[in-house]
Structure 1
Amino acid sequence: MMEIEQAVFARKRWLPERMADYGFRHAGQDFMLEKDFMDGDFRAVLTVSESGAVSSHVVDRMTGEEYDQLRRREANGAYVNMVREAYRNLLLEIAGACCMDVLFASDQANRLTDFMEDKFHVAPDYPFSKMARYRSYGTFRHGGNRKWFALVMNVKRGVVDKSASEDMVDIINLKIDPKEGERLFQMPGIYPAYHMNHRTWISVVLDETVSDEKVMALIETSFALTK
């Protein structure tokens, strides 16, 4: 089950001045908010780090303990689902008041999007938008032949690095010269392409492991190969 906070805030950027107006307070380098919901029966305690990462716990005010059923995959009773929905609505309210929308979850993906707009005069389209799981997948196409030269996806890290990690990361799929594959796969953060031909496409994890300059060079190569 994707964390509720991740689902709500994945493509948001926090605006500190709005956070202060809403009621967030400084806690060291972080921002913190305590807010009741469901007629005061529950309290949400949110912490937003300097980098924008959100952590939270929800307290049952009757017991004073964390309401851990909220995050249990097997907990699907009417009451826990009502609490989840109320909590999600609270997070949506906070996002609307304190955040701005961005196209992708990672800062690096958004910087590269700006690069592709400036260099190639293209913006992403979302061909899978009718499917909830894939609606944020953005394709970048040539203006003429409409072929993809880049595809940004938000996936579990484990699907590219073959680990057990379920952390969600942005990746970008790019076309390469097959002769370059062996060399590129030696570089941290570059893997055989997720859901595409492993000989001619790569996946680059957009978590700052590979520099913007290197990814931009790979984007330019992909653009040329798909032209």
Structure 2
Amino acid sequence: MIPIEETVFSRKRWIESKMLAYGFHKANKTYILEKPFLDGDFKTVLSVTPKGQVTGKVIDSMTQDEYYQLRQETATGPYVNRVRSAYRSLLTDIADSCCSDVLFASSQANRLTQAILDHFQVKPDFPWEHSARYQSYGAFRHRSNRKWFALIMNVTRDVLNKDGNTSPIDILNVKISPAQGEELRKTPGIYPAYHMNHKTWISVVLDETLADEKIGELINTSYQLTTT
């Protein structure tokens, strides 16, 4: 079960001044918010790291214990659904009050998007924006021939590692020379391309495993390989 926090904040960028105005306080480098909801029957303790990673706890005000049923897929009764709905509404209000929208879930994906705009004057388009599953997939195209030279997708880690890990991750598909393929796929963070030709494309995980500069080199190569 994907955490509710991930679904609400996946494409949001936190704004410190708005967080502090909302009621967050800073403890070391982490921002903390404690806020009651559902008529005070519960409270959330929300933590946000400097990189924007969000973790949340929902505490039962009567017992002072964490309300674990919120995270259990098998818990589907009317009461737990009411708590989930109220919690999601609270998180949505926090997101609306404290965040701005970004194109992609990961900070690295958004940095690379800006770098592509700066270098190639290309913004992503979203060919499947009306699809619930693929609406976040962003394609970067040559303005002349409309060919893709990069594609950012939000997938589960399992599609790369085949290990059952369903946590979401942004990945970048870029074109390569087949002669480079074997060596590149030995690099941590690089995989055979998801949903594309394994000989001529690779997938790069955008979780800071590879530096922006290295990924930028791969994007430049892909751009050159797709000019005609």
Residue 145 (structure 1) shift: 2.2
Residue 173 (structure 1) shift: 0.3
**Aligned equivalents of 2:195 and 2:135: distance in 1?**
16
- Does residue 43 of structure 2 align to residue 61 of structure 1? no
Question: Which residue pairs with 2:185 in the alignment?
Answer: 185
Where 1:134 maps in the other structure, the secondary structure is coil
Unaligned runs of 5+ in 1: none
Question: Which residue pairs with 1:175 in the alignment?
Answer: 175
Residue 95 (structure 1) shift: 0.8
- Does residue 26 of structure 2 align to residue 16 of structure 1? no
Question: Which residue pairs with 2:141 in the alignment?
Answer: 141
**Aligned equivalents of 1:79 and 1:130: distance in 2?**
33
1:14 corresponds to which letter in structure 2?
W
Residue 162 (structure 1) shift: 3.3
Residue 38 (structure 1) shift: 1.2
Question: Which residue pairs with 1:108 in the alignment?
Answer: 108
Question: Which residue pairs with 2:42 in the alignment?
Answer: 42
Question: Which residue pairs with 1:166 in the alignment?
Answer: 166
Residue 211 (structure 1) shift: 1.6
1:123-138 to 2 correspondences below 5 Å: 123-138=123-138
Question: Which residue pairs with 1:201 in the alignment?
Answer: 201
Q: Give a deviation string over 1:56-115, Cα, whole Å, max 9, x none.
A: 111122332211111111122222222111111100110111111111111211111111
Would the aligned equivalents of 2:136 and 2:154 in 1 still touch at CA under 8 Å?
Answer: yes
The alignment yields a C-alpha RMSD, in angstroms, of 1.4
1:217 corresponds to which letter in structure 2?
E
Identity %: 58
**Aligned equivalents of 2:131 and 2:67: distance in 1?**
31
1:66 corresponds to which letter in structure 2?
E
Residue 47 (structure 1) shift: 1.1
Where 1:146 maps in the other structure, the secondary structure is coil
**Aligned equivalents of 1:51 and 1:121: distance in 2?**
27
- Does residue 29 of structure 2 align to residue 29 of structure 1? yes
Question: Which residue pairs with 1:74 in the alignment?
Answer: 74
Would the aligned equivalents of 2:2 and 2:167 in 1 still touch at CA under 8 Å?
Answer: no
How many residues of Structure 1 are paired with residues of Structure 2 in the alignment? 227
Residue 212 (structure 1) shift: 1.3
TM-score w.r.t. the length of structure 1 is: 0.94
Q: Give a deviation string over 1:34-68, Cα, whole Å, max 9, x none.
A: 11111111111111122221111111223322111
2:117 corresponds to which letter in structure 1?
E
**Aligned equivalents of 2:115 and 2:51: distance in 1?**
22
Residue 175 (structure 1) shift: 0.9
Residue 200 (structure 1) shift: 1.0
